[in-house]
Amino acid sequence: MNFNIYDFTSFNQWIDNYLYTSLSPFWALIVEMTIIGLVFLTGYALVGLFLVYLERKVCALMQNRIGPNRVGPFGLFQTIADLIKLLLKELISIKQADKLLFNLAPFIVIIASFLCIAAIPFAKGLHAMDFNIGVFYVMAVSSMGVVGILIAGWSSNNKYSLIGAMRSGAQIVSYELSVGLSLITMVVLAGSMQFSTIVEAQSDGWFIFKGHISSVIAFIIFMIASTAETNRGPFDLAEAESELTAGFHTEYSGIKFAFFFLAEYMNMFIVAAIAATVFWGGWMPLHIGGLDGFNHVMDFIPPFVWFFGKTFVIIFLMMWFKWTFPRLRIDQLLTLEWKYLLPINLLNVLLMALMVLMGWHF
C-alpha cells in the first residue's frame, strides 16, 4: 500500500480490502461506517472550535480590539474553556414546554449539518459519499435544519423564541431559492450534479473564471444568500439580541445550546466548502494556460491544502460581512431576496444556459 497525500483513493481501497478480507461483509461495513463516523465527529468538533476562535480574532481585527489573549498562547485555549463550561452547565427544564420536541430540536439541527458535510469532497478520493446527485442531495438535506429551528422556537413556550423561529423560517425558506438557483447555474455549466465530476471539470480552470460574468453573478448571489441562510450577520434577524434576546434558542442551556452554537459555525463551513467546490475548483490547484512552470509548482501543493485554504478564505469573507455591515430589518431582508436576488438569479440561469448552448464559455 502506497500512501499518497495527492490521491487518497489507493489508501481507501487498502482499508476497504483489508477489512473485507479480515471480517465478514456485514462487520466490515459496520467498522467502515464507525471509522467514518468517528473521523467526522472529530473533524466536526475541531473545525467548530477553530471557527469560534477565528471569529473572535477576526472580530477583534475588524473593530481594532485585542480578542482572546489570556487563556493559553494567543488565547487558543479560551474556546476549549468555553466548551468545557457548556458541557458542564446544568440543563434547565422549562415549565409548560413541549419536552419531547424541546429536546429533539437541537439534534435535528446538528444532524442536518452532518448529512450535508458527508457529500463534500475534501481531496481527491477523500469523501464519504460521492452521489451522482450530490448538489441536489445537499440542497435537500440542508433544508431540514429549518425544521429543528421552528420546533425549537415553538416548543420553548416563549414569545421571543417563537418570533425568532418564525423569522428564521421565513428567511431560510426565502434564501434557499437563491442558493439553489446559484448552484443550478453552475450545474448547467458543469453538466453534472456530482461533486467529484464538477471538481474534475475545473482541472483546466475554475468555474469562477470559465463561466465569465454569469459565474461571477452566481458566486456573489450565493455568498449573499448563503450568509442569510445560515442566520449570520448582517442577516441575523432570528437572533437579534436587541429585540429577541437570543431568538429561537433563548431557553436552551448547556450542551443543547452548544449544539445550536456549533451547528451555526458548521453550516458556515459547509456553505463555504460548497462555494469553494463549485466555484473555485474544490481541491484543484490554480492553473493558468500557457504557464507550465507555474502550474507545475501549484501541483506540488496537496489537494486538501487547496480545499481548506479556499474554504477558509470564503469563511473570512463571511466574517468580514458580519463585522462590517449593520443588521437589516426583516422587511429589508425579504425585499432583497424576492425583489432583487431571485429575479437576477432567474435571468442568470438563462444567461448561463445560452452561454453553454453557444459555447461562449472557456
- The Cα 234–Cα 327 span in angstroms is 4
**Which residues have CB under 8 Å from 76's CB, separation 6+?**
53, 68
- The Cα 288–Cα 86 span in angstroms is 48
> Is residue 295 packed enough to be buried (19+ CB in 10 Å), middle (13-18) or exposed (0-12)?
middle
Per-block average pLDDT, block size 10, for the chain (362 residues)? 74 86 88 90 89 90 86 86 86 82 89 89 85 89 87 86 84 89 92 89 85 90 90 73 66 84 89 93 82 83 91 92 84 89 94 87 64
Q: Is residue 2 part of a domain?
A: no
Tell me which long-range contacts 9-14 makes (C-beta under 8 A, separation of at least 24). 9/124, 9/125, 10/125, 11/125, 12/125, 12/126
Q: Is residue 138 part of a domain?
A: yes
Q: Is residue 267 part of a domain?
A: yes
Q: Is residue 21 part of a domain?
A: no
Q: Is residue 30 part of a domain?
A: no
Taking a C-beta distance cutoff of 8 angstroms, is the pair 308, 44 a contact? no
What is the structure's pLDDT at 240? 60
Total count of residues recorded for the chain: 362
What is the structure's pLDDT at 233? 75
Q: Is residue 260 part of a domain?
A: yes
Taking a C-beta distance cutoff of 8 angstroms, is the pair 156, 94 a contact? yes
Taking a C-beta distance cutoff of 8 angstroms, is the pair 362, 219 a contact? no
- The Cα 128–Cα 41 span in angstroms is 13
- The Cα 349–Cα 362 span in angstroms is 17
Structural domains counted in the chain: 1
Q: Is residue 51 part of a domain?
A: no
Q: Is residue 20 part of a domain?
A: no
**Domain extent for 160:** 85-358
